[in-house]
Structure 1
Amino acid sequence: MGAEHISRWESGALAHAVSDPFGQGPLPWLRGNEHYFSDTGRLIPWYAEPERPGCRGPRSANDVNRQIKGFASAGAVAPGESIDFHVTVDPPQQFSIDVYRIGHYAGHGATKVTTSPRLSGIVQPPPLTANRTVSCHHWWLSWRLQIPSYWSIGAYVAVLTTANGYRSHIPFTVRDNGPADLLLLLPDITWQSYNLYPEDGRTGASFYHAWDGRGRLLGEREAAVTVSFDRPYAGAGLPLHIGHAYDFVRWAERYGYDLAYADARDLHAGRVDPSRYRGLVFPGHDEYWSIPMRRTVEAARDQGTSLVFLSANTMYWQVELSPSPSGVPDRLLTCRKRRGPGKSALWREADRAEQHLLGIQYAGRVPEPHPMVVRNADHWLWESTGAGEGDELPGLVAGEADRYFPRTSLPPHLRRILLAHSPYRDARGTTRHQETSLYRAPSGALVFASGTFAWSPALDRPGHVDPRVQRATANLLDRICKRD
């Protein structure tokens, strides 16, 4: 079947999902067999782990029929606090919510921690729209979960299942303010930026897409300027790129790293104190940053806290957060991009290029995966990996890539090194280069940037694991945590 015959919103697919060659990754409670078309028209699988023969799980809800969809009142909560779930069910029927915590768990990837009572589902009012902003802040409360004091901090997913077997998801984070070696920051601001809910061919909008009156997908010029956190995520209810964060979580917890958890809005609002941690880890695609986020992270580096960026295209767009119509802080997200009067929202065009913090910056998309070519193999990052100078790590340059821009100034540093220099072809067939960067700031902090989407999946994604990347990441984190 050709791509022209697929109505992507009818299939439950995210229209822009092909920008991530890894999809959401294997999830223990969801074994989907959805397929999607790449930019070249080829059929590609959404999940890295295929459906098991003879196993038919619950069906995924979609945004046309809204069999079951929901969102949470907060992105992150602390033990002892509560989180509210707002859920719509069509047709009305009972449903349940199973809550999972992401981790290694003997290779299962998650463990169930609680199940709701049977809940009465209702059809919630249609989403409200204003100037492409879609909000469901008027939905009734469906279930309030009190987070027990004994729950482990971490990344969680609420799995919603109707009586007739449809399923959707709501991710959230449980955090605390205690010290740890590493603070893991989940990029919920970037997740919301890509959220096209409702992906129904009519009303959904993200910072990338919206629909016209004929159900055609429009580009960035007609997309939303402001999006709301008060709405479900499109499709199955899991954000695009969320699997990158989960890959790191599973690997890091398997090897016993001392992790604290928070999300990007916690960083924005000042709810986390970076001085409590030896390092901040940004495990997934983290493209959208507010001024307070950047200010806090730069101050942390300058005070000796190391920074680890395990993706690419980090901190590309500048955003603002504002309250919801009911006054709840940080529920509306605005990025003006290039439309209308005023300054561009690109950090590099505001004379604050990403390279000033990362050491490298976004260079472009990578249509097909390419090898990462090892550079400076005698550096301690590559120690005991078995990687030699010029060795190629298959598929490690994928999705999007960063590189060093010689005409852009570097951050202050004591030492700086590029640890990969990898040729790839862009969409026009032009040869470009990806680079991986590490520098030591005057404070002593290390700042690492992988420069590719493929680094986190190489840690714990079936079909993508690379032991050399696992060892190099351990070398980096062990040095930050003073394990060496």
Structure 2
Amino acid sequence: MAGEPETGQAPEEAPEPPTVLRGAGNCANNHDAPAHAEAPQPPTTSSGAALYQFAAPPRGANDHNEPAPEELPAPPPPGTPTPRWQSGALAHAVSDPFALGPLPWLRGSETYFEDGRIIPWYADPHTPRVPPPRDKTFPTGAPRSADDVHRQIKGFTSPGAVTPGEALDFHITVDPPQQFTVDVYRIGHYNGEGAAKITTSPRLSGIVQPPPLAADRTVSCHHWWLSWRLQVPAYWNVGAYVAVLTTLDGYRSHIPFTVRDNRPADLLLLLPDVTWQAYNLYPEDGSTGASLYHAWDDEGRLLGEADAATTVSFDRPYAGAGLPLHVGHAYDVIRWAERYGYDLAYADARDLHAGTVDPTRYRGLIFPGHDEYWSANMRRTTEFARDAGTSLVFLSANTMYWQVELGPSPSGAPARLLTCRKRKGPGKSLLWREIDRPEQQLLGIQYAGRVPAPRPMIVRNAHHWLWEATGAHEGDEIEHLVAGEADRYFPRTTLPEHEERVLLAHSPYDDARGTRRHQETSLYRAPSGALVFASGTFAWSPALDRPGHVDARIQRATANLLDRICKRD
């Protein structure tokens, strides 16, 4: 989640509904721009001790039309501690109402992998279930989620995404020492179940690994011993996987990983593991853990961005139950796309950084979820792909906001440390818009602010082929589709070169202090012929396959887009 941008001017008034713009490539000040658009300033950052109060940084760093800051809830009285169990992920979930989604690995929710079998999270709770056969050695009750204080079972994998035929190393701590198993699931539609069990490890002997190492807020477990090596069979399908760790006494944790391949496919789906790690507060123990947003003080209080880490490590588990915040967005897209037969390849954002995938081999790249943190290599590779004719599909908001660096671990493993200084100390980690490379130059729109409560998306240019056969008409409201965070077109910010461009939604909402703002959805065609779509809202992905959030108009619009990219009849 980005801090709220600020400005020294009055908030921008909503312009007239947008129209199709053609042949206006690379214009910093298009003639359709409102004359009263405001001047921007850098976004705010969290204060040291207050959880939801943000303080603005010094002004004058750049000029990219940022909106005025929102007034957020007042901080608690001085000295009020944040409970030790309250994580950075939970703190930020208020800005992403879809965060993990209806996934039972969400802390305190229903069980998904119940007693070793898949239970759909939207199953009717009143429908009797036939109990599955049970291994009498294991408890008969549903596993309990591990936590970061007791570390009943926690783990991570290395080196990163793997290809079929390669090995994946699991580093796992178990306290108290006991046997455990690893069930591996692949995420997909699978007749509505959401995942399928692929394999199970033998019984493994668990040990208590050394405590995490911490230096300057950077927490790492790179010194943990190998617990299990999974040789990924050559016949496994590429995709998003989840390893479910279960102890003999019934505690459970999770590890997400990706099986990628550089085979030709229509679409390459890129899982935003860099942004996932930025939010990871492991360990959520009231003492050691740190993310790029939070850390703990000596009294167990949760601190803000000013005292957070500047470097975080991939060599550690994810906090809590072991799955990253925002993971639900990606899984929504995967389930829907696989259900309707799209030809998908998979990779992580770090693969884009490292060059282990060639995006020009695909008709389109899908960025399925919150993807806020980008390295220079990630951006360069994506822009090269667009200019070579590969289309780009961004299904969230607040994309490519922070520039980051990826470096090797102490053992030399590449791309295991993520650095984003956020104006702390020397270095080049800044907002992309602060180094004269605003996100809008790639996306067509860029981050505008948080949306306090879900609002309807207002359809614009309903005659466009994206809205074809959706049943949507000009000015129709798609309920609750503007949520979490929102992007919009900034008239005084440079646009990408384009052959044609259209804004497909223009949706007003009120920020936290009641100031009227708006969200927009963008599509443009680059000179290479590539299409670049940006939804401009967190709620697009959940509308594809999230129980309680599905919208047939968004499903059809997304299909229209992907079908055109894939040249499907």
TM-score above 0.5, yes or no: yes
Matched residue, 1:26 = 102
After TM superposition, the structure 1 = structure 2 runs for residues 63-142 of structure 1, keeping only pairs within 5 Å, are 63-142=148-227
For 2:428 and 2:167, the matched residues in 1 are separated by 39
Residue of 526, 535, 560 corresponding to 1:450: 535
Residue of 328, 332, 335 corresponding to 1:243: 328
1:480 Cα offset (Å): 0.2
1:164 Cα offset (Å): 1.1
For 2:106 and 2:317, the matched residues in 1 are separated by 20
For 2:81 and 2:407, the matched residues in 1 are separated by 40
1:424 correspondence with 2:500: no
1:51 Cα offset (Å): 9.4
For 2:89 and 2:271, the matched residues in 1 are separated by 23
1:31 Cα offset (Å): 7.7
- Is this contact kept in 1: 2:459–2:505, CA < 8 A? yes
For 1:317 and 1:483, the matched residues in 2 are separated by 35
For 1:8 and 1:179, the matched residues in 2 are separated by 47
After TM superposition, the structure 1 = structure 2 runs for residues 44-59 of structure 1, keeping only pairs within 5 Å, are 52=125, 57-59=142-144
1:409 correspondence with 2:494: yes
For 1:124 and 1:219, the matched residues in 2 are separated by 29
1:169 correspondence with 2:245: no
- Is this contact kept in 2: 1:12–1:62, CA < 8 A? no
Q: For residues 460-480 of structure 1, what are the alpha-carbon distances to aligned partners after superposition, in whole Å with 9 as ceiling and x for unaligned?
A: 011110000000000000000
Q: For residues 343-390 of structure 1, what are the alpha-carbon distances to aligned partners after superposition, in whole Å with 9 as ceiling and x for unaligned?
A: 551000010000000000000111111111101001000000001111
Matched position secondary structure for 1:77: coil
1:48 Cα offset (Å): 7.9
- Is this contact kept in 2: 1:13–1:235, CA < 8 A? no
Q: Are the structure 2 counterparts of residues 88 and 251 from structure 1 closer, same or farther at C-alpha, using a change threshold of 3 Å?
A: same
Matched residue, 2:380 = 295
Residue of 341, 347, 350 corresponding to 1:265: 350
Matched residue, 1:380 = 465
Q: Identify the structure with the greater strand proportion.
A: 1
Residue identity opposite 2:512 in structure 1: A
1:309 correspondence with 2:394: yes
Q: Are the structure 2 counterparts of residues 13 and 175 from structure 1 closer, same or farther at C-alpha, using a change threshold of 3 Å?
A: closer
1:58 Cα offset (Å): 1.4
Q: Are the structure 2 counterparts of residues 478 and 344 from structure 1 closer, same or farther at C-alpha, using a change threshold of 3 Å?
A: same
- Is this contact kept in 2: 1:75–1:188, CA < 8 A? no
Q: Are the structure 2 counterparts of residues 62 and 267 from structure 1 closer, same or farther at C-alpha, using a change threshold of 3 Å?
A: same
Matched position secondary structure for 1:477: helix
1:281 correspondence with 2:366: yes
Residue of 78, 83, 99 corresponding to 1:7: 83
Q: Are the structure 2 counterparts of residues 225 and 31 from structure 1 closer, same or farther at C-alpha, using a change threshold of 3 Å?
A: closer
Matched residue, 1:361 = 446
For 1:31 and 1:407, the matched residues in 2 are separated by 41
Q: Are the structure 2 counterparts of residues 279 and 194 from structure 1 closer, same or farther at C-alpha, using a change threshold of 3 Å?
A: same
Q: Are the structure 2 counterparts of residues 265 and 364 from structure 1 closer, same or farther at C-alpha, using a change threshold of 3 Å?
A: same
For 1:306 and 1:322, the matched residues in 2 are separated by 29
1:226 correspondence with 2:320: no
Matched position secondary structure for 1:320: strand
Q: Are the structure 2 counterparts of residues 51 and 268 from structure 1 closer, same or farther at C-alpha, using a change threshold of 3 Å?
A: farther
For 1:374 and 1:302, the matched residues in 2 are separated by 29
- Is this contact kept in 2: 1:319–1:333, CA < 8 A? yes
Name segments (4+ residues, structure 1) moved above 3 Å.
3-6, 10-15, 29-35, 47-56, 341-344
Q: Are the structure 2 counterparts of residues 424 and 11 from structure 1 closer, same or farther at C-alpha, using a change threshold of 3 Å?
A: closer
Matched residue, 2:337 = 252
For 2:537 and 2:122, the matched residues in 1 are separated by 21
Higher RCO (C-alpha 8 Å, min separation 6): 2
Matched position secondary structure for 1:249: helix
For 1:266 and 1:197, the matched residues in 2 are separated by 23
For 1:432 and 1:20, the matched residues in 2 are separated by 18
Structure of higher CA gyration radius: 2
Give the unaligned 5+ runs of structure 2.
1-75, 111-119, 130-140
Q: For residues 383-407 of structure 1, what are the alpha-carbon distances to aligned partners after superposition, in whole Å with 9 as ceiling and x for unaligned?
A: 0000111111111001100000001
- Is this contact kept in 1: 2:82–2:301, CA < 8 A? no
| Aligned length in residues | 470
1:20 Cα offset (Å): 1.6
- Is this contact kept in 2: 1:181–1:257, CA < 8 A? yes
Matched position secondary structure for 1:367: strand
Residue identity opposite 2:386 in structure 1: R
Q: For residues 95-120 of structure 1, what are the alpha-carbon distances to aligned partners after superposition, in whole Å with 9 as ceiling and x for unaligned?
A: 10000000000000000000000111
Q: For residues 229-270 of structure 1, what are the alpha-carbon distances to aligned partners after superposition, in whole Å with 9 as ceiling and x for unaligned?
A: 000000110000001000000000000000000000000000
Pairwise CA RMSD of aligned residues? Answer: 2.0
Residue of 502, 519, 533 corresponding to 1:434: 519
- Is this contact kept in 1: 2:82–2:300, CA < 8 A? no
Q: Are the structure 2 counterparts of residues 84 and 143 from structure 1 closer, same or farther at C-alpha, using a change threshold of 3 Å?
A: same
For 1:11 and 1:187, the matched residues in 2 are separated by 20
- Is this contact kept in 2: 1:9–1:15, CA < 8 A? no
- Is this contact kept in 2: 1:59–1:165, CA < 8 A? yes
For 1:475 and 1:34, the matched residues in 2 are separated by 35
Q: TM-score, normalised by structure 2?
A: 0.80
Residue identity opposite 2:83 in structure 1: S
1:150 correspondence with 2:235: yes
Residue identity opposite 2:101 in structure 1: G
Give the unaligned 5+ runs of structure 1.
36-46
Residue identity opposite 1:23 in structure 2: A
Matched residue, 2:25 = none
1:426 Cα offset (Å): 1.1
Residue of 389, 403, 412 corresponding to 2:474: 389
For 1:124 and 1:51, the matched residues in 2 are separated by 40
For 1:404 and 1:167, the matched residues in 2 are separated by 44
Residue identity opposite 1:483 in structure 2: R
1:227 Cα offset (Å): 0.3
Matched position secondary structure for 1:307: strand
1:327 correspondence with 2:392: no
Q: Are the structure 2 counterparts of residues 31 and 73 from structure 1 closer, same or farther at C-alpha, using a change threshold of 3 Å?
A: closer
- Is this contact kept in 2: 1:17–1:23, CA < 8 A? yes
Residue of 436, 456, 465 corresponding to 1:371: 456
Q: Identical aligned pairs, as a percentage?
A: 80
1:49 Cα offset (Å): 5.1
Matched position secondary structure for 1:66: coil
Q: For residues 132-175 of structure 1, what are the alpha-carbon distances to aligned partners after superposition, in whole Å with 9 as ceiling and x for unaligned?
A: 00000001111000000000000000000111111100000001
For 2:244 and 2:251, the matched residues in 1 are separated by 10
- Is this contact kept in 1: 2:163–2:259, CA < 8 A? yes
1:352 correspondence with 2:469: no
